[in-house]
Structure 1
Amino acid sequence: MTESERFKITSDEYADLIIDYNYDMGILAQYPNASYNIINQRYAVLNIPVSEMTYNAVYKYGYASIPKCYGLMFERATELDGNYYIQNLPAYDYDGEGVLIGFVDGGIEYRNKAFQYDNNTTRIVSIWDQTIESPDRYPADFYYGTEYGREEINLALQSKDPLSIVPSTEINGQGTAMAAVAAGFNSNQFSFSGTAPKAEIVAVKLKPAKPYLKEFFGISEEALCYQENDVMMGIKYLLQVAKSLHRPIVIAVGLGCNQGSHIGEDFISRYISEVGELPGVAVIVAAGDEGNRYGHYYGEIGSPNIYNIAELNIGSENENFSMELWGYPPNLLAVDIFAPNGDFVYHVSRSYKQLNTIPVYYNDTVIYIDNRLQEPFAGSQLILFRFQNAAQGVWSFQVSGSHDLVNRFHIWLPLHQFLRNIYFMNPDINTTLSIPANTVNIITVTAYNPVVLELYYYSSRGFTKTNEPKPDITAPGVNMVIPTGIDQFAYFTGTSMACAYAAGIAARLMEWGVVENNLPNMDCTFIRYILTSSARRDSSMNYPNQNWGFGILEENVFGDIV
């Protein structure tokens, strides 16, 4: 990437692709019309003219290379329903001092007192705002956005007009809420404290997904979503800051996606799995808020049945959306599509050969279909359906199998916030973990209400598609009283809140292990071991559990190790 090319990163006239060039720069040279921005020695982001992102882009570039759309994992309560959780942990010997907690999200409200010391100076080490362009203020080798350091943030806090110095703000509130839950400074009001109140903060404000990508996947213009490649670059930035300061870091990811194989082998999952192996680094991810959203279907085909029918309700006329069917090897699946009035629309045949994208026309409805067996890392069949102007009513997908084996398959819709009244008539609540929560070398956290001891109703459930035990742990995440805005409190619910809660506990462990040199090579695997082994478990349940993981997070995890 050169200075003259960097405008392509943020320009709506250029599309993005994620490439696994595997340490071979010659692979990048195969794209002569593209500019590229390096994530690490294995992954890079290519920028190509948006005109090349045609209807058959999946056929041309591969499904894995097209960035997926990520959404937030929280909801804000307008009023309490009679029970809420006030965060007020008892004092321990460890409070995260010397540890960084990094957030890749919608930004942070740096003016909030929860992120300041008693002398009104900031506890935020730096902010990388991907949405603010400046000629020379981007982090080294990132080529977009603007970086604001501690000194500049302190100047802003002393100013009568802070935003004239550091104009980075947050609108949706999740990033600020997560930072407060994990690392908010003690507040007498509401008896609030973050779980690691002396940890310091690094924040990334993601830029919104480009219009072409939302259009490609049928996501409305007003939906708030972020691109997979920007999330990966955000994680890279957090690692770079931690390395420059020689500090351990806990990375909290409160985002999720439903696009992909759900086995932890897509680009972002492989990347953060590698990150989780680094000493002094832990990656904590929200399980997702897709349980009880009716966005997942699971089917089996075995004797004497020769097919399985998935029924999808489309509640409004002229809807745009995508849907993914993933099989299991070595089976090969076929699908017959039927319109709401019973008309046969199209037969997706079994084929080992990679076919071009198939456009199917039915009255005003258009369906683009990609039938793929050669997706990197997935190892199973993908049939991607992209609907435009879908007719209202219940569509039927008759799935048939091959060979004499039991044929199993999953169908996932996008995140619920990207849809409008579209759902399966006979959904399956399990295997609804959002990507990258199904990644092995990270810590996946789901949410519960610690007042009534109930799992959050919309928490995504495990296990992964390959039956790996996830989530790992359950933490408070329902009706959390959290500082937001500048001097306000609000009530947040979601697995992102539970993720932040666990991130603070992980920072306490990092302080003991890395900062105090008790275990200087402490990594994500070791922290997951401590959190899961010390978890509180119900004798009436089996563990690992599809809903609760290995149990409820024990805040005082030091009893067995100190």
Structure 2
Amino acid sequence: MPPSEEQLRCRDIILSQDYADFIVAYGGNVDVTVGVYEPSCYEIVNSNFLIMHKPLPANRVTVYENYPYSIIPELLGNLDSTSMEQSGILPTHYAPAGGFRGNGVMVGLIDSGIDYTHPVFRFQNGGTRILALWDQTIQTDEIMERFPYGTEYTRDVINQALASDDPYSSVPSTDEDGHGTFLAGIMAGSEDVSEDFIGAAPEASIVAVKLKPAKEYLRDYYIIKEGAAAYQETDIFMAVEYVLQKALEYQMPAVICLGLGNTLNSHEGTSNLSQYLNAVNNVTGVCVVVAGGNELGKAHHYSGFIPSRDDSQTVELKVGASERGFQMELWGGSSDVFSVEIVSPEGERIARSQSRLGQSQRVKLLFEDTEIYIADRSAGLPGGNFLSVIQFRNPTPGIWTIRVFGDRILNGRFNIWLPMEKFIEETTYFLSPDPNITLTSAATTSSTVVTANYSHYNDSLYVTSSRGYTASGFVKPDVAAPGVNVFGPVPGGRYERRTGSSISAAHAAGAAALLFEWGLLNVIILNMDGNDIRRLLIQGAVQKQNEEYPNQGWGYGAMNLKNTFESLRVLR
């Protein structure tokens, strides 16, 4: 059936650079929410969230000033990539009782795409192991009812393309970055004896989503570093829903791997994305695995304490010469209110003003080209916390001084986060940073499996592996998995070595697929969900004798699936 005029209109609005996107927790009453916001078009994610689109104002920088912080889509970036043996996965492939290789389980890739022509995603007869591929970047008249943009390529269509002399003429989806192809290979790549490669769940089925790039107005709003890959939270919501729909369609348990992140938000697992992922992970037959991040040593987190009202603390921020701008966020508890005074490297001062709910100011420095926006965005936050958003545009290079004051103090603790390392210049950082609570915001989601990144060559945490816990003290990460100099597939039928926390998440996602095959498909654990997977991986984690567990680097230890199965045998 050809798409309706309304479907085509909504597709064009979703893709248009002239429309702003919103994500709203609507509490089940669509009509009331739509009546309040009056969007030009909207999609229902589930019973809790709506994605809406409205025309952009003439001044795109101010698009969200009159809206709550919580409805602004976050931008997420890639968290770059013998490891199967070290993580205890390979022995489970060849267990005496037949082993587990992911047969009957679906793995969901949400990333930069997948090279569907690579041999590791094909059966020996040449057919594809990909059940479906949704490319959000390719627009055709073949519009899905629930997902009104991009194009879906089914298994049959991909097989027809692979059988032709020119596959890309009929299925033009590619992975220019290679990040998604690598993660999919680590999760579920077929065995390639000639290259001595095998994925964690080599018989699992694959559903892949290639995310569309973030809109330019959002990149400008967050002042994202030029050339950095960035994806919208709204598209990630819809991508997860797509994988869940395919899991229902094929009646398979599904593991969803999210090797993306950012460091803004509360780090308490209260963001819209965290709440959504928690709900998804609690569904029988679904597990969500999230990468912890690569933020240790980047000096992007500052923690402070103000003992009483009108006391203050001085924060020094080094801004590099090539920095075009950034957003940073000051978070405090629900009982506290903070305000700031800012002094530029040249001595220009933005005087302290008492923080008021919803109050904002935009200041252009008199003798410098810098513009600074400061706003209290505490209203409507899910966790009830205090939030001050501070944006710098064209900041003068050098040492900036930010003096944080207590306007109302009961707890007094505050945290400031800069964007993730790929969104900001490496020469911009705090001079006295706190290395803890540097997980990406999605990695502070309580029920999901969150991985730290360690080297399976020397059994040590990678130098940039983000540290926990969450800002509220909940233990994250859960386990560490290999993610250093790992061998895997890249576009063009090739292989190479990559490093990154996303790769550790791919290892854990593959292990989760094997646990679903063992526990759910064999009816050993009824109603098995992501919480059960998380518990089992923690149960089998290997701990060093000279470390206390849990800890902020390793979580509960190094993931070892063989150890998990051995512990189950002892318990039984």
2:358 to 342, 350, 354: 354
Q: Number of paired residues?
A: 551
Q: Is the 8 A contact 2:310 2:406 kept in 1?
A: no
Q: Offset at 1:404? A: 6.0
For residues 453 and 409 of structure 2, the distance between their equivalents in structure 1, rounded to whole angstroms, comes to 41
CA RMSD for the aligned pairs? Answer: 1.8
For residues 377 and 39 of structure 2, the distance between their equivalents in structure 1, rounded to whole angstroms, comes to 26
2:438 equivalent in structure 1: 432
Q: Offset at 1:55? A: 3.9
1:259-274 equivalence runs, <5 A: 259-274=264-279
For residues 297 and 377 of structure 2, the distance between their equivalents in structure 1, rounded to whole angstroms, comes to 29
2:414 to 409, 418, 421: 409
For residues 339 and 427 of structure 1, the distance between their equivalents in structure 2, rounded to whole angstroms, comes to 19
Amino acid at match of 2:128: T
2:222 equivalent in structure 1: 217
State yes or no: 1:250 paired with 2:255: yes
SS in 2 for 1:418: coil
1:550 equivalent in structure 2: 556
For residues 100 and 304 of structure 1, the distance between their equivalents in structure 2, rounded to whole angstroms, comes to 54
Amino acid at match of 2:551: N
Q: Is the 8 A contact 1:86 1:190 kept in 2?
A: no
- CA 1:267–1:288 in structure 2 vs 1: closer, same or farther (change >3 Å)? same
- CA 1:322–1:527 in structure 2 vs 1: closer, same or farther (change >3 Å)? same
2:67 to 61, 70, 83: 61
State yes or no: 1:381 paired with 2:386: yes
1:102-501 equivalence runs, <5 A: 102-136=108-142, 138-302=143-307, 306-316=311-321, 319-351=324-356, 353-355=357-359, 357-362=360-365, 363-403=368-408, 405-420=410-425, 421-501=427-507
Range moving further from structure 2, 97-106 or 310-319: 310-319
Amino acid at match of 2:304: G
Q: Offset at 1:333? A: 0.9
State yes or no: 1:50 paired with 2:56: yes
What are the superposed Cα offsets for residues 270-301 of structure 1, whole Å, 9 maximum, x if unpaired?
11100000000000000011111111111112
Q: Offset at 1:519? A: 2.0
SS in 2 for 1:61: coil
Q: Is the 8 A contact 2:309 2:408 kept in 1?
A: no
Q: Is the 8 A contact 1:346 1:360 kept in 2?
A: no
State yes or no: 1:524 paired with 2:530: yes
Q: Is the 8 A contact 2:336 2:409 kept in 1?
A: no
Amino acid at match of 1:359: R
For residues 375 and 543 of structure 1, the distance between their equivalents in structure 2, rounded to whole angstroms, comes to 36
Amino acid at match of 1:361: K
SS in 2 for 1:436: helix
For residues 284 and 532 of structure 1, the distance between their equivalents in structure 2, rounded to whole angstroms, comes to 13
2:568 equivalent in structure 1: 561
For residues 231 and 221 of structure 1, the distance between their equivalents in structure 2, rounded to whole angstroms, comes to 22
For residues 34 and 479 of structure 2, the distance between their equivalents in structure 1, rounded to whole angstroms, comes to 40
SS in 1 for 2:442: coil
Q: Offset at 1:208? A: 0.2
SS in 1 for 2:57: helix
State yes or no: 1:506 paired with 2:507: no
What are the superposed Cα offsets for residues 228-273 of structure 1, whole Å, 9 maximum, x if unpaired?
1101110010000001111100001100011211111111111110
For residues 434 and 60 of structure 2, the distance between their equivalents in structure 1, rounded to whole angstroms, comes to 33
SS in 2 for 1:559: helix
TM-score by length of 2: 0.93
TM-score by length of 1: 0.95
Amino acid at match of 1:28: V
SS in 2 for 1:502: helix
Q: Offset at 1:354? A: 2.3
Q: Offset at 1:99? A: 0.2
For residues 128 and 284 of structure 1, the distance between their equivalents in structure 2, rounded to whole angstroms, comes to 20
Gaps of 5+ in 1: 76-83
Amino acid at match of 2:130: I
Q: Percent identity?
A: 37
For residues 152 and 323 of structure 2, the distance between their equivalents in structure 1, rounded to whole angstroms, comes to 42
SS in 1 for 2:113: coil
Q: Is the 8 A contact 1:86 1:191 kept in 2?
A: no
For residues 430 and 20 of structure 1, the distance between their equivalents in structure 2, rounded to whole angstroms, comes to 30
- CA 1:233–1:422 in structure 2 vs 1: closer, same or farther (change >3 Å)? same
Amino acid at match of 1:134: T
Q: Is the 8 A contact 1:14 1:47 kept in 2?
A: yes
Amino acid at match of 1:558: F
For residues 338 and 123 of structure 1, the distance between their equivalents in structure 2, rounded to whole angstroms, comes to 57
Amino acid at match of 1:301: I
- CA 1:453–1:397 in structure 2 vs 1: closer, same or farther (change >3 Å)? same
Q: Offset at 1:376? A: 2.2
